[in-house]
Structure 1
Amino acid sequence: MGLNLFLLAGPLCAQASPPQAAVLHVSTGSTVNADGSVTPLYTAMPVQIMVQPPGPQDLQLVEGLDQQADLRVVYVNAAVRALSRSSQTGGDILEFSGSDWLVTRSVEDWGADASGESEWVKVVVTRQLPASL
């Protein structure tokens, strides 16, 4: 196991942006209903996150999407994936501040655990209305 940067940087970052409790809903696929509609499936797990407003570089990542949405940047000590239609993975949702936030962009990841998953990530999330879970 390598050096856990989140463990080292977390206490220092917490002075500027205290961590908060959240629930990570990890996408586990979907099921097709009898009427042909699709219902996503999730596994929930508690996580600690640090939330910040998006900076100029983060906004450039979503600039071409012409979205008028409530965005946040979230740092989380877990493997979190944005939706990837080509690989049919992701679509994870973070639940915090009374709302569901869809992971719309994975910005950075650090480290890797034994399974090769990221130890911690920086993602852009978009508020979902109404609650999707």
Structure 2
Amino acid sequence: MIDVFSLASGALGIVNPATTVTVKCSDGYEIQPDGSPKLKTFTLTAQADIQAVSAGDLEHVASINQQADMRAVYIRGGLKGLSRPLHVGGDLLNFYGSDWLVTQPVEEWGYGEWSKVIVTRQTAAPSPM
């Protein structure tokens, strides 16, 4: 099979180099002795192509109705937005000094080979002093 992600990343990397991101992936939850759920996660590091959100991408999140700092992220692997029935999602990425929540999966190629997601900034970047 053709590795489309690597081909596109190589060509695009000349103009927009890949960014190293830390990904905190949701892995369901476990029930604590007191009956409360505790989120299970695992962390990994990946290279991602981060871009401004296009007008077409904004159509996917039109129902969110929020003023927020959003980015489109292309990344190898399958990131998930919140899915309560599957007990997954809420994946967080950390780049540009901030945490970004996956708010909308837009595209996924193959079975988790690569994906395009829209992320929304959750924490402010540290202020320069």
TM-score where L is the length of structure 1: 0.83
Q: Does the 8 Å CA contact 2:100/2:123 hold for their aligned counterparts? A: no
Residues in 2 aligned to 1:124 and 1:77: alpha-carbon distance in whole angstroms: 14
1:21-40 equivalences in 2 (<5 Å):
21-33=20-32, 37-40=36-39
- Identify the residue that residue 17 of structure 1 maps to in structure 2: 16
Larger CA deviation: 24-33 vs 119-128: 24-33
Residues in 1 aligned to 2:33 and 2:67: alpha-carbon distance in whole angstroms: 35
Q: CA deviation at 1:87?
A: 2.4
Identity of aligned residues (%): 39
- Identify the residue that residue 51 of structure 1 maps to in structure 2: 50
Residues in 2 aligned to 1:77 and 1:47: alpha-carbon distance in whole angstroms: 8
Q: CA deviation at 1:32?
A: 4.0
- Identify the residue that residue 122 of structure 1 maps to in structure 2: 116
> What amino acid is aligned across from residue 50 of structure 1 in structure 2?
D
- Identify the residue that residue 103 of structure 2 maps to in structure 1: 104
- Identify the residue that residue 76 of structure 2 maps to in structure 1: 77
Q: CA deviation at 1:86?
A: 2.7
Alignment gaps of 5+ in structure 2: none
- Identify the residue that residue 114 of structure 1 maps to in structure 2: none
